[in-house]
Amino acid sequence: MTTKTRRSKSGDDQIPKLSKELCNRLLADLERARRPVLYATKCSLDNALYNHKVGFLTPGDKKVATELNVSSVKKMSRAIFMLEILLRNIDTGAVNTKRELYYISKGEIKHNPMLKPLDFSDQPESDATIDFICEMLECYREELNCYANDRGGQTYSQQLVVTETLPDGDQAVIDLSKLGTSPFQPKNRPQSLKLSARKKIDFCLIIESEGTANTLVANGFTKRHNCILIGAQGVPSNAVRGWTKLIQDQLSVPLYFFGDLDAYTLQNIYRTLKAGSAASLIRNSDYSAPEVRFLGVLPEDIKKYDLNDYPVKESDAAEGRALKKAADALKNDPFFQDKRNKGVAQILKWLLEHKRRCEQQAYFTVDPRDPTMPEKIIVEKIKRGNYV
């Protein structure tokens, strides 16, 4: 007997329903002394598909099977135990981090000695249990009311207004133009937010370096241009990814990504923002913005603006790994193999060939006395369509 779970669309009532279905099937199998098998989507590059019409990486048919046997009975018992806690949270609307859930489970076990064999010796064990539940239910942990620390995505705009519906039904309206130089921090699960513009917004610029985003705002970028400016803070978190998707869907403004010219940025940061990642195949639909374009730094910018670039140190472990991964991506990553993404694939090839890199801050070398020089270049590039 095989137990399959399939989820059409996310929704708060979906998880309890799915969980009950799953448990019912498990119970039915057990009553007949049949071995239940749980199938979870295989989240890896070899099970990732890309179609430019869809715009993000989607899961293929490969599944990971977990059969109930003597070796897996502990894992399953733990999963059911944790699922019960999570369902209670969903029911009451309480949210927790993974660490808090670790302590909640500890507390449960403390008060019920019968559960002692389930005890987690450290947090990685309880984290693995939560991840296993997500795989079984094909959901992401935010749907189980388990949130991570919000990181990245600090947003500046003189035009954007955010309306948040709170769990109790109240509405909060945030006008970003009233925040001064303070940014707006999007949540890890931005789906409960509604966006509107006080004035027509021309574009949204996502900047890899949070510091550079801050500099541009301080120098008056958002005052001079009707735009949204986001600092990504490295590899985009769920907050950044969901937030970008929300802007794309609700405001229909062109989105540009501006970051370093190197293999890591292109393949890890930009690709994740635009099409999601292999590890998050299940939730790429809610956490990717396929319309984002790569504004730079482009290889041709180096020549055009005489930017300071430098060779990649292959002896450096991290950089060597990034290059190796890039070569691998060109061969195996369906995103880079798609014709529509030829532009970014070519940049990756250029990087592998020339083994040089150029940072986003290099625009400051163009005219060291003019603090608005990077702004001018960025705006000029957008105007001329100088992006990929």
Q: Which of 114, 166, 317, 318 binds other proteins (CB under 8 A)?
A: 114
User: Can you tell me which of 32, 53, 331, 383 binds other proteins, judged by CB under 8 A?
Assistant: 32
- Residues sharing a CB contact under 8 Å with residue 40, sequence separation 6 or more, in sequence order: 63, 64, 66, 132, 135, 136, 138
Shortest approach of other proteins to residue 23 CB, angstroms? Answer: 5
Q: Which stretch binds other proteins (CB under 8 A): 16-24, 237-245, 282-290, 325-333?
A: 16-24
Binding residues for other proteins, total number by CB under 8 A: 29
The DSSP secondary-structure symbol of 61 reads S
d(CA 208, CA 269): 8
Helix ranges restricted to H, 181-258: 210-218, 221-224, 238-251
Q: How far is the CB of 125 from other proteins (least distance, A)?
A: 15
Q: Is 33 in the site for other proteins (CB under 8 A)?
A: yes
Cβ neighbours of residue 291 under 8 Å, at least 6 residues apart? 55, 248, 254, 255
3-state secondary structure of 38: strand
Q: Which of 387, 374, 376 is nearest to 209 (CA)?
A: 374
Instruction: Tell me if 117 contacts other proteins by CB under 8 A.
Output: yes
Give the interface segment with other proteins, choosing from 47-55, 83-91, 135-143, 244-252 (CB under 8 A).
83-91
Answer yes or no: are the C-beta atoms of 50 and 334 closer than 8 Å.
Answer: yes
Among 8, 70, 149, 369, contact with other proteins (rule: CB under 8 A): 70
Instruction: Say whether 262 sits in a helix, a strand or coil.
Output: coil
Q: Which is nearer to other proteins, 121 or 315 (CB)?
A: 121
- Give the interface segment with other proteins, choosing from 19-27, 43-51, 130-138, 290-298 (CB under 8 A): 19-27
| CB of 122 vs other proteins, minimal distance in Å | 20
For residues 2 and 143, give the distance between their C-alpha atoms in angstroms, rounded to a whole number: 25
Q: Which of 7, 14, 23, 197 binds other proteins (CB under 8 A)?
A: 23
Report which residue type is found at 142: E
Binding mask 85-104 for other proteins (x = CB under 8 A): --x-----------------
Minimum distance of other proteins from residue 121's CB (angstroms)? 16
Which listed range, 66-74, 119-127, 169-177, 353-361, lies at the site for other proteins (CB under 8 A)?
66-74
Nearer to other proteins, 2 or 24 (CB): 24
Pairing of strands 48-50, 57-59: antiparallel
Task: Using CB under 8 A, pick the residue from 57, 76, 207, 358 that binds other proteins.
Answer: 76
By beta-carbon proximity to other proteins, the closer residue of 35 and 199 is: 35
Alpha-carbon gap, residue 326 to 182, rounded angstroms: 36
Phi then psi dihedrals of residue 141, to 5 deg: -65, -25
- Cβ contacts of 342 within 8 Å, gap of 6 or more: none
312 binds other proteins (CB under 8 A): no
Minimum Å gap between C-beta 30 and other proteins is 4
- CB atoms closer than 10 angstroms to residue 78: 23
Residue 1 lies near other proteins (rule: CB under 8 A): no
Applying CB under 8 A, among 38, 40, 43, 83 the residue interacting with other proteins is 83
Residue 35 in contact with other proteins, rule: CB under 8 A: yes
Shortest spacing between CB 101 and other proteins, in angstroms: 16
In whole angstroms, the minimum distance from the beta carbon of 176 to other proteins comes to: 43
Residue 68 binds other proteins, judged by CB under 8 A:
yes
Cα angle, residue 183 at apex, residues 181 and 189 outer, rounded to 5°: 170
Q: Is the dihedral of CA 27, 32, 33, 35 positive or negative?
A: negative
Choose between 26 and 330: whose C-beta lies nearer to other proteins.
26
DSSP string, 64-130: EEEE-STTTHHHHHHHHHHHHHHHHHHHHT--B-HHHHHHHHHHHHHH-GGGGGG--SSHHHHHHHH
The footprint of other proteins (CB under 8 A) covers 19-20, 23-24, 26-27, 29-35, 68-70, 73-74, 76-77, 80-81, 83-84, 87, 114-115, 117-118
